[in-house]
Structure 1
Amino acid sequence: MTSHVLAVGEALVDVVERPDGTRTEHPGGSLANVALTLARLGRDARLATWTGRDDRGETIRSWLAASGVTVTPGSDAATRTSVARATLDAAGTATYDFDLEWRVPAGTRADAGTLAVHTGSIGAVLEPGATDVRAVVEAARATSTITYDPNARPVLMGDAASARERVESFVRLADVVKVSDEDLAWLAPETAPLDMARGWVHELGAALVVVTFGGEGSTAVTATGEVHVPSRPVQVVDTVGAGDSFMGALLDGLWAADLLGADRREALATIDHATVERLLSRCAAVAAVTVSRAGANPPWIDDLEDA
């Protein structure tokens, strides 16, 4: 069976409102963006999601198919396609509000070819789908690497204390976590981001936690220490999808390093710093291309020949 990564979570339409009053629509969603990035980097990426059989749903499915993402059966059974409205400030930073419907397609599971299951963001917190996402992840641990990005949406996640409990319950299941400093500042404002990451490694059991600091780069925490890599200089158009493309590149790099799959869990737990630095450098290159473009538009592998 062909080796692949299974992403489980939302695909939706981003309605982007810019400071000059212009309004555009782009297909997106955190888990869809991760799968799209992986596919554009030449990987077999599959997405279990929840879209409607409407014009917006067809736009999403065509967008994913054009990049080689396989959408799993039953992912088009929603009554409507979800929408996220992103309002950009003068610096290109997005804030969101949502009109959502989320369930996990029946029969979603890791199979013998699933090297990794990735989840997070809305799909891991919005019921009724979130409970099923957790069940998929719990079952997949026996065969697959589990990767997770909280990608916090405070408007959907309630109070920070309750959200932290739910996030950390997923961290306990995960081998790899990618999280932004902004997410950590909301979840635990009294704790420095890297102190949180250290706790997730040394207390909750993640093998690799990567904290992204926007234009300041990213820092990886492992059981044996920390590695920081700066971001790439770039003219920012907007930040929509930047963290998701970073996550997709991280999965691609772990795949290239032969660190995906439950049978590689011990090797992942002892990952060396040189490998981590290479991973983060590649992620920085991918994210730099994404923020230089409008909407969630990560690079294809040919765009990164010199990265």
Structure 2
Amino acid sequence: MFTVIGESLVDIIEAPARGTARQIHPGGSPLNVAVGSARLGLPTTLITHFADDAHGHLIDDHLRGNNVEAIVGGSFPTSSAAALLDGSGAAGYTFSIHWDINGASIPALAAVESALHVHTGSIAAVLAPGNKTVLGLVEAARPHATVSFDPNCRPAISGDIEAARQEVEGFVAASDIVKASDEDLLWLYPGRTVEDSLAAWLELGPAMVALTRGADGPVILTRRGRVEMPAEAIKVADTVGAGDSFMAALISGLAQLDALGAVNRPRLQDLATAQLHALAAYANRAAAITCSRPGANPPTAAELGPLTGTPTTAES
């Protein structure tokens, strides 16, 4: 039903400001979205890369333990991201990253061609040589699947902001649903407000753009309406994976509204304000649960519950 394309890596988390020991967790934005979606009941496949090494075994066990099917290509060592947490739990990253799915093109194409929905983003959308393959897979999926994209920008990897902006806008134009953080948009477009950037992306073609703003909460914008709400009040353990949990829950909510798949694009484009509000609240709650515990640990369907408070047809 659902195929994710993108990097898997290990997060090596250190928090000297908190006096806690080093921790190693499977991570990578696409992997987190895949795990989050599988925990919310969506049959999920991840097209990715990791190696036959200690970190790769950790990732493989994590995917198997969360019922995510992996299609693995490439020949590089398993990637890693060192996350340094400050006193508030916010993470800054340094990377040792490779992205290539060479050798997996046939099963990868089969996975996207059989999917109802395809998601990609982050490093996989901007880092050569794999990013061109990813765009090709997204374009192959569009005739029958809806597509979502989260740029999850990493300035340490995408040093050329002009090149990164072009790559990102190509994926935005090829997507039905786009999610970004305020940090993403301020880095990509330092000369304009995040609201102007959201509106500009909507003009590129997506039916929906969503914005996460940390403690200020999310915004969802479509051609029919706009909703926003504050973040839930919680005790933050850290923010690792919160945006990915938001993305996974947004996709799960849209699945519950029967708004995924190419045949349902008209429904996606015509969602009512009440439906948008319910989607924002559902994804907001998923992000809050993730922030309340260490690492990228998204909620299960039992923890999050179903999408509620929505009409079954598009209404104003």
**TM class, shorter-chain normalised?**
over 0.9
Report how far residue 69 of structure 1 moved: 0.8
Alignment of 1:178-197 (within 5 A): 178-197=179-198
User: How many Å separate the matches in 2 of 1:248 and 1:212?
Assistant: 13
Alignment of 1:138-157 (within 5 A): 138-157=139-158
Report how far residue 272 of structure 1 moved: 1.2
- The question of whether the paired residues in 1 share the 8 Å contact of 2:113 and 2:141 is answered with no
- The equivalent residue for 2:84 is 87
Report how far residue 163 of structure 1 moved: 1.6
- The question of whether the paired residues in 1 share the 8 Å contact of 2:112 and 2:118 is answered with no
C-alpha spacing 1:225/1:46, structure 2 compared with 1 (3 Å): same
Residue deviations 1:84-109 (CA, integer Å, cap 9, x gap): 11111111111111111211232212
Alignment of 1:111-150 (within 5 A): 111=112, 113-150=114-151
Q: Is there any run of 5+ residues in structure 2 with no aligned partner, and where? A: 308-316
Q: Is there any run of 5+ residues in structure 1 with no aligned partner, and where? A: none
Task: Supply the AA of the counterpart residue of 2:35.
Answer: L
User: How many Å separate the matches in 1 of 2:5 and 2:85?
Assistant: 27
The answer to whether structure 1 residue 28 and structure 2 residue 47 are counterparts is no
The answer to whether structure 1 residue 239 and structure 2 residue 239 are counterparts is yes
Determine which of 7, 12, 21 is the counterpart of 1:10.
7
C-alpha spacing 1:200/1:235, structure 2 compared with 1 (3 Å): same
Report how far residue 306 of structure 1 moved: 8.6
Alignment of 1:90-101 (within 5 A): 90-101=87-98
Task: Supply the AA of the counterpart residue of 1:204.
Answer: L
TM-score (norm 2): 0.92
Structure 1 outlier segments of 4+, above 6 Å:
none
Alignment of 1:60-71 (within 5 A): 60-71=59-70
When the two chains are superposed, the root-mean-square deviation of aligned CA atoms in Å is 1.4
- The question of whether the paired residues in 2 share the 8 Å contact of 1:33 and 1:241 is answered with yes
Task: Supply the AA of the counterpart residue of 2:63.
Answer: L
Task: Supply the AA of the counterpart residue of 2:282.
Answer: R
User: How many Å separate the matches in 1 of 2:154 and 2:7?
Assistant: 13
C-alpha spacing 1:162/1:111, structure 2 compared with 1 (3 Å): closer
User: How many Å separate the matches in 2 of 1:229 and 1:174?
Assistant: 24
Report how far residue 160 of structure 1 moved: 2.2
Residue deviations 1:70-91 (CA, integer Å, cap 9, x gap): 112xx16533111011111111
User: How many Å separate the matches in 1 of 2:273 and 2:80?
Assistant: 40
Task: Supply the AA of the counterpart residue of 1:117.
Answer: V
What percentage of residue pairs aligned between the two structures are identical? 43
Report how far residue 182 of structure 1 moved: 0.7
Alignment of 1:1-307 (within 5 A): 4-18=1-15, 19=17, 20=19, 22-72=21-71, 75=72, 77-104=74-101, 105-107=104-106, 108-109=108-109, 110-111=111-112, 113-201=114-202, 203-305=203-305
- The question of whether the paired residues in 1 share the 8 Å contact of 2:225 and 2:272 is answered with no
Residue deviations 1:200-251 (CA, integer Å, cap 9, x gap): 11x2011000011111111111012211122111110111100011000011
User: How many Å separate the matches in 2 of 1:259 and 1:84?
Assistant: 34
SS at match of 2:210: strand
Report how far residue 21 of structure 1 moved: 6.2
Residue deviations 1:19-46 (CA, integer Å, cap 9, x gap): 2363111111100000000011111011
User: How many Å separate the matches in 2 of 1:142 and 1:244?
Assistant: 25
* Number of aligned residues: 301
User: How many Å separate the matches in 1 of 2:223 and 2:62?
Assistant: 39
User: How many Å separate the matches in 2 of 1:229 and 1:258?
Assistant: 24
SS at match of 2:209: strand
SS at match of 1:57: helix
- The question of whether the paired residues in 1 share the 8 Å contact of 2:26 and 2:59 is answered with yes
- The question of whether the paired residues in 2 share the 8 Å contact of 1:194 and 1:211 is answered with no
- The question of whether the paired residues in 1 share the 8 Å contact of 2:147 and 2:177 is answered with yes
User: How many Å separate the matches in 2 of 1:112 and 1:183?
Assistant: 30
Report how far residue 300 of structure 1 moved: 1.2
- The question of whether the paired residues in 1 share the 8 Å contact of 2:14 and 2:21 is answered with yes
SS at match of 2:81: strand
C-alpha spacing 1:25/1:111, structure 2 compared with 1 (3 Å): closer
Task: Supply the AA of the counterpart residue of 2:218.
Answer: S
Task: Supply the AA of the counterpart residue of 1:155.
Answer: A
TM-score (norm 1): 0.95
